[in-house]
Amino acid sequence: MRKILLPLLALFAAAQTTARTVPDWLERAVIYHIYPSTFMDSDGDGIGDLEGIRSKLGYIRATGFNTIWMSPCFASEFEDGGYDITDFYRVDPRFGTNAQLVRLIDEAHALGIRVCLDLVAGHTSDKHPWFRQSCEADTELQYSDYYIWSPSKSDFPSRKFVAADAPRDGNYLKNFFDIQPALNYGYAHPDPAQPWQQGYDDPGPRAVRQEIRRIMDFWMSKGVDGFRCDMAPSLVKGDDEAFTANRRLWREMRAWVEEHHPGCILISEWSQPSHAIDAGFHIDLIIHNKWGNEMYRPLFCHTSDKGKPTPCFFDRAGRGDVRSFVERYTEQYLATRDRGFASMPTCSHDIWRLNRFDRRTPDELKTALTFFLTMPWVPIVYYGEEIGMRNIEDAPVKEGSFTSRNRSSCRTPMQWDATPNAGFSSAAPERLYLPLDPDPARPDVAAQTDDPHSILSYVRGLLALRAATPALGTAGDWRYLSSVDDPYPMVYLREAEGAKYLVALNPSGRSVAAEIPAPGLRAEAVYGTDPAASCVVRKGTARIRMKPASAAIFRVE
């Protein structure tokens, strides 16, 4: 047994399976993440909308997803793709109306689909009426303390404080872009020498927290099933390394949700599951920019758009490393598994699609997707990943999409069929929110629906298997089995109620064979890309053989 295995097994043995304190539906949830501007356009203006999403609910359900998370659909200036909100209580007219959102939720529920929205709790647009009022010279107004202001324009020249072109004498704290002033949740440890820093219990931060509850209440009362909470650990400023103040804040929010909207969930963009789940989140997103540079991107994406790409596990070169992922994920999984989920999305509106560089063929993409859909987390699939849409590296910048990388590359329109604009919109092509993938052979839903070998059919089959097999879902234990020093194939065990499955993944472009400590007396392949993949178990060892770029799931008895 190789170096890492013993400590991991010991840790694993110490973990007890307990009933999770999450709503039942979440145990079975498979989330589909939609970027509303580019999913489906119903009115021919070139931009996706709620009626478009509603028209595709049947497709979403038939593929095996039962929960939607939509990036923000609220009134916005769209200087950061909708993450710069001007009215949290109103759907932006580009997407439709509040009544259409309610209709979408009702129809989704009738089909067995839950709907989660995006809660951008940390900031607003600088055009939001609250912020406009807080710019007034009179600092005693209703919204004056909704934001964080330095005392004078001549103070605090810093990257974080923006010199406001406003009657108020001061600079405001921003969160992300300059147009996103931070809402005032106070400082964890206000500095007495800086009286402008308010405390958690000061009236401004209290009013902001109350406002956030009002926003959640407004939408949850209309049937919304939960929120994905943007930049969750950064609301209270000046927090300590354990995020004590931000955990306090979210624990209060969770208690409020339990009391007023039991059955609803909170998902954090935090990326430190042990903190986030402790803070009351049901799911924490493992994302590129946190675990990122040392694990998510090297494992699943090349490191950078600039510089030299580093090897990544899920690519043809087969020179990647899994050690940091396995160590870190195992630790976080064991710390949180009885209370929530540490979920790694396939990608998002912020990060590259799977179909990129050395991961392009259907088998390569299916192999990566097998990983995302057989881990013990709640799976999160970004729209279009289920058909293998390409990351469009040179997609034009749109609505603040460029940060340190081109986020338009993963926001191009969904490809539905072979009609003009891939069935996304009836607008003239130059009016589309972003241009479509120009490849004449681009994948689409229509072509893949009845093709038994398509990525879509593979995903549909795998989600059906997961839904029917507790061991492969959130109910199953997870244990990494293969060597972290020689990780091709990567093999892990899923197990529940006495049923055991080995998931074996070989993203590399070469055939591989491995001997791995594993339970059971016999193994049978139940799913995968390679009907010839073999697994023979004897005396506590599984001998696995796999062809290049392949995935296999074996039931062991």
Instruction: Report, in Å, the least distance between residue 557 CB and ligand NOJ.
Output: 44
69 vs 36, 74, 176, 417, 437, CA distance in Å? 10, 14, 22, 23, 24
Crossing angle, helix 323-336 and helix 5-14, to 10 degrees? 10
Q: How far is the CB of 80 from ligand NOJ (least distance, A)?
A: 5
Q: Please, what is the minimum distance in Å from the beta carbon of residue 176 to ligand NOJ?
A: 4
DSSP helix/strand/coil, 53: helix
Give the nearest residue (CB) to ligand NOJ. Answer: 83
Q: Please, which residue, 175 or 374, has the CB nearer to ligand NOJ?
A: 175
Give whichever of 349 and 442 is closer to ligand NOJ, judged by the CB atom: 349
Q: Considering the complex, state which of residue 269 and residue 363 has its C-beta at the smaller distance from ligand NOJ.
A: 269
Q: What type of residue sits at position 416?
A: W
- Angstrom distance (rounded) from CA 93 to CA 365: 36
351 is an interface residue for ligand NOJ by CB under 6 A: no
What is the CB-side half-sphere exposure of residue 54 using CA atoms within 13 A?
18
Strand ranges in 449-522 using DSSP code E only, listed in sequence order: 477-480, 490-496, 499-506, 512-517
Under the binding rule (CB under 6 A), the answer on residue 69 touching ligand NOJ is no
Size of the site for ligand NOJ (CB under 6 A): 9
User: What minimum distance in Å lies between the beta carbon of 29 and ligand NOJ?
Assistant: 20
In terms of residues, how long is the chain?
Answer: 557
Q: How far apart are CA 322 and CA 397, in angstroms?
A: 33
Among 447, 444, 448, 464, residue whose Cα is nearest residue 456: 448
Is residue 285 within the footprint of ligand NOJ (CB under 6 A)? no
Which residues, other chains included, contact 18 with Cβ-Cβ below 8 Å and sequence gap of 6+? 338
At residue 144, what is the residue type?
S
How far apart (Å, rounded) are the C-alpha atoms in residues 386 and 39?
Answer: 13
Pairing of strands 341-343, 283-285: parallel
CB 485, min distance to ligand NOJ, A: 35
Residue closer to ligand NOJ by CB (options 353, 494) is 353
Find all residues with CB under 8 Å of 553, minimum gap 6, and list them. Answer: 370, 374, 465, 472, 501, 502, 503, 504, 525, 526, 527, 528
Nearest to ligand NOJ of 179, 490 (CB atom): 179
Q: Which is nearer to ligand NOJ, 269 or 530 (CB)?
A: 269
Which of 230, 315, 363, 495 forms a contact with ligand NOJ (CB under 6 A)? 230
Assess 176 for contact with ligand NOJ (CB under 6 A). Answer: yes
Binding mask 253-282 for ligand NOJ (x = CB under 6 A): ----------------x-------------
Distance CA 93, CA 87 (A): 11
Q: Which amino acid is at 118?
A: D
Of 179 and 463, nearer to ligand NOJ (C-beta) is: 179
DSSP state letter for 410: G
Residue among 39, 69, 78, 83 that touches ligand NOJ (CB under 6 A): 83
Q: List the one residue from 53, 135, 216, 231 that touches ligand NOJ (CB under 6 A).
A: 231
Contact pick of 108, 120, 463, 549 for ligand NOJ (by CB under 6 A): 120
Report, in Å, the least distance between residue 277 CB and ligand NOJ. Answer: 20
535 DSSP β-pair partners: 544
Classified as helix, coil or strand, 524 is strand
Please select the residue that binds ligand NOJ; options are 92, 284, 321, 350, rule is CB under 6 A. 350
Binding status of residue 80 toward ligand NOJ by CB under 6 A: yes
Site for ligand NOJ in 353-382 (CB under 6 A): none
Binding status of residue 41 toward ligand NOJ by CB under 6 A: no
CB of 205 to ligand NOJ, least distance (A): 19
Q: Is the Cβ–Cβ distance between 454 and 387 less than 8 Å?
A: yes
Q: How far is the CB of 92 from ligand NOJ (least distance, A)?
A: 15
Contacts with ligand NOJ, residue ranges (CB under 6 A): 80, 83, 120, 176, 230-231, 269, 349-350
